[in-house]
Amino acid sequence: MITLIQARTLIAAGEAHADALGVSVNIAVLDGGTYLKAFGRMDGAVLGSIDVATSKARTAVLFQIPSEVVWEYCKPGAPAPGLERSNGGLATFPGGLPLFDAAGALVGAVGVSGGAPSQDLEIAQAAVAALHS
């Protein structure tokens, strides 16, 4: 599982990147069982995106893929249309990334919300990069 120190490192790296982009975001780090490990809400981050950040991370943990990739399975005409309504609701847009240890085992996920979808993804990628540095 992801440690608290690792989770805090992810949040700090994500917040630093968000600052560089000039956006305020919410960052959720979940463990491999979808439970909240750590959370950061930057000053000025939209309150409505708290749940979105957590949902993006939860989606990434449940399917062990980036949150936006899940859309490929559930969009109209895809193999599982309506899948986004399962599991209490999924967030099938950019900003949720699964976290794997050096052996490739799932240890959790990070979810970012508050910027544009492309910014959320970029911030989440910066957070994950800090975990592996």
| Contacts (Cβ under 8 Å, ≥6 apart) of 103 | none
Number of folded domains that form the chain: 1
In tens, the pLDDT along 1-34 reads: 899 999 999 999 999 999 999 999 999 999 999 9
Please give the average per-residue pLDDT across 62-89, as a whole number: 92
pLDDT band with cut points at 50, 70 and 90 for residue 131:
confident
The per-residue pLDDT of the chain, averaged, comes to 96
Residue 132 near residue 95, CB atoms below 8 Å: no
In tens, the pLDDT along 90-120 reads: 999 999 999 999 999 999 999 999 999 999 9
Between residues 75 and 110, the one the model is more confident about: 110
CATH number at residue 19: 3.30.450.150
Say whether pLDDT at 132 is over 90: no
As a whole number of angstroms, the distance between CA 129 and CA 113 comes to 18
Q: Which residue has the tokens 């990434």?
A: 60
Between residues 74 and 58, the one the model is more confident about: 58
Range of the domain at 97: 4-131
Please give the average per-residue pLDDT across 31-46, as a whole number: 98
Q: Which residue has the tokens 């492309």?
A: 118
**Entry pTM:** 0.95
Say whether pLDDT at 133 is over 80: no
Pairing of strands 36-41, 26-31: antiparallel
The residue type found at 82 is: G
